C-alpha cells in the first residue's frame, strides 16, 4: 500500500462516519413539538397581546393595503408570528385576536 492511499482511506472513513451520524441525529430532530407552561406561557400570551395593541395603535387596520408603511406591515407580521406561537402552544387554531383582513 502506498503512503498516499492510507490517508485517503482514513479521510473516507471519517467522512462516512460523519455522514452516518448526521443522518441518525437528523432523523430524530424533526419533531416540531413545543411545550410552554407556567410563567413562560403567560409571557407568550402577553407578548401577543402587546404586539396586537401595537398594530391597532399604528393604524394598520384603518389604512388601505396599498398605503401601509413598512412599519405597519412589520408590526402586523410580528403580531401574526406571536399569535402563531400561542396557537401552536395551545393546539388551538382560533386562539388570539384576528385582524380585520383575516375575518
Among the listed residues 75, 96, 74, 77, the one whose alpha carbon sits nearest the alpha carbon of residue 87: 96
Cα–chain center distance at 34 = 11
Question: In sequence order, which ranges of the chain are alpha helices (DSSP H)?
Answer: 5-28, 38-58, 70-90
Residue 1: is its pLDDT beyond 60?
Answer: no
4-30 per-position pLDDT tens digit? 677 788 888 888 877 777 766 665 665
Residue 36: is its pLDDT beyond 60?
Answer: yes
For the chain, domain boundaries: 38-102
Residue 66: is its pLDDT beyond 90?
Answer: yes
Which one has a higher pLDDT value, 65 or 9?
A: 65
Q: In the chain, pLDDT over 90 holds for what percent of residues?
A: 52
Regarding pTM above 0.85, the answer is no
Cell of 83: 399569535
Section 66-82 average pLDDT: 95
Amino acid at each position: 500500500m502506498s503512503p498516499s492511499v492510507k490517508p485517503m482511506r482514513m479521510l473516507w472513513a471519517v467522512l462516512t462516519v460523519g455522514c452516518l451520524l448526521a443522518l441518525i441525529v437528523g432523523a430524530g430532530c424533526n419533531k416540531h413539538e413545543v411545550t410552554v407552561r407556567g410563567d413562560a406561557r403567560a409571557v407568550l400570551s402577553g407578548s401577543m397581546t402587546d404586539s396586537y395593541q401595537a398594530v391597532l395603535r399604528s393604524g394598520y387596520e384603518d389604512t388601505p393595503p396599498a398605503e401601509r408603511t413598512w412599519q405597519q406591515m412589520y408590526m402586523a407580521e410580528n403580531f401574526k408570528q406571536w399569535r402563531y406561537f400561542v396557537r401552536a402552544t395551545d393546539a388551538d387554531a382560533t386562539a388570539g385576536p384576528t385582524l380585520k383582513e383575516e375575518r
